[in-house]
Amino acid sequence: MVVATTFDLLGVGRLANFVREKLHGDITYYNVNRHLNPTNVCVASCALCAFAEKYGGSRGWTYSVEQAVEVAAADVDESVTELHIVGGLHPKLGVEYYEELFRALKARFPWIHIKALTMVELDFLSQRAKLPVEEVVLRLKEAGLDSCPGGGAEIFAPEVRAQICDHKTSGERWLEVARIVHSLGLKSNCTMLYGHVERPEHRVDHLIKLRELQDQTGGFQCFIPLAFHPANTRLSHLPGPTGKLDLQTVALARLMLDNIPHIKAYWIMLGHKTAQVALHFGANDLDGTVVDERITYAAGGQAGKGMPRAELERLIREARRIPVERDTLYRPRVPIAGLPAVPREITLPTLPS
């Protein structure tokens, strides 16, 4: 709780940067990826969300499999290594739709890594089909699912979820679905949405729960702190997180999640400048080119239409870090000699009182 509430931002940043550099040196990862949202139609009605539309609503869209493949094809060439696929909880789209979609994408882009469907989406598909999550995941894996994103975790505390996402999978269930995903051989990321109605103790509790599950499964590759964007949501009266909270949350994650290898400074939500600073507050990943991101963009995000690889590398170099293009599983696209090995134990420096 001290790190979560301290006013000594630079001291916390120094500690987190020490850990970051012990783990990764100056290396900062990015990838060349494209987002694909097959639908924004959603049966949930989350106060935090500006992306979703009710079934039959005028703002809704739902792609056929053929349309989704063509939308992806507009921006995918052999330099793109990942499709990040998430969407709404559509009452008419079942497991079969995603099986067909993944097979069609793999047929069109055989080299692509499909990172798709949050734990919330998997849980919804399971309930809709009246099938165990295990069966749903195995079917999707057979169809081409390679890993899962980390969204939908929000804040695990029930009292917070009741205010921001009361129609969505519980925090406890999110963790259970993640456990199942990992047990079936798929990696995933994990997230935390901060800067809304939660308190510092909720953030700490959330990170503890992720850390405990990671101890058991080892399936989380990366933690992504997600800064809340209130515009166009039912929580638009809230100011959103401060720059201090952005950096403090990144640092807190790096210090608490010693068993999760990577911490991401998600430039889409942080903006370019804060993301650059976060590379010295514990983060070692800037995400990717992120073509056609719509979820944060719908909530007033100004950085959501993608970034060229050269611009990503420029931002990383300006922050005095070394850019390394990776694939989804954090393998460098070009072998890099001397990448630092992860030490078994890190002793933090003592800050002056």
Whether residue 277 is predicted with pLDDT greater than 80 in this model: the reply is: yes
Pull the structure tokens for residue 3.
């790190």
Segment 115-128 mean pLDDT: 98
Express each pLDDT in 73-101 by its tens digit.
Answer: 988 888 999 999 999 999 999 999 999 99
pLDDT at 95: 99
pLDDT at 343: 39
Confidence category of residue 306, pLDDT binned at 50, 70, 90: confident
pLDDT at 166: 93
pLDDT at 344: 38
Whether residue 342 is predicted with pLDDT greater than 50 in this model: the reply is: no
Whether residue 352 is predicted with pLDDT greater than 50 in this model: the reply is: no
Q: Which residues are annotated as a binding site for S-adenosyl-L-methionine?
A: 154
Confidence category of residue 338, pLDDT binned at 50, 70, 90: low
Confidence category of residue 297, pLDDT binned at 50, 70, 90: low
Strands in 229-299 per DSSP E:
262-263, 285-288
Segment 320-339 mean pLDDT: 87
Q: Which residues are annotated as a binding site for [4Fe-4S] cluster?
A: 42, 46, 49
Q: Which amino acid is at 116?
A: A
Whether residue 118 is predicted with pLDDT greater than 80 in this model: the reply is: yes
Confidence category of residue 339, pLDDT binned at 50, 70, 90: low
Whether residue 241 is predicted with pLDDT greater than 60 in this model: the reply is: yes
Closest CA to 295 of 343, 225, 232, 341: 232
The better pLDDT of the pair 347, 66 is held by 66
Q: Which residues are annotated as a binding site?
A: 42, 46, 49, 154
Percent of the chain with pLDDT over 90: 81
Structural domains of the chain, with CATH: 1-34+117-325 (3.20.20.70)
pTM: 0.92
Whether residue 45 is predicted with pLDDT greater than 80 in this model: the reply is: yes
Residue 338, judged by CB atoms within 10 A of its CB (0-12, 13-18, 19+), counts as: exposed
Express each pLDDT in 139-187 by its tens digit.
Answer: 999 999 999 999 999 999 999 999 999 989 999 999 999 999 999 999 9
Give the burial string for 124-151 (b: 16+ CB within 10 Å, else e): bbbebeeeebeebbebbbebbbbbbbbb
- DSSP-derived secondary structure letter, 41: B
Distance (Å, whole) CA 265 – CA 275: 5
Rounded to the nearest 10°, the torsion over CA 338, 329, 149, 275 is 20
SS3 30: strand
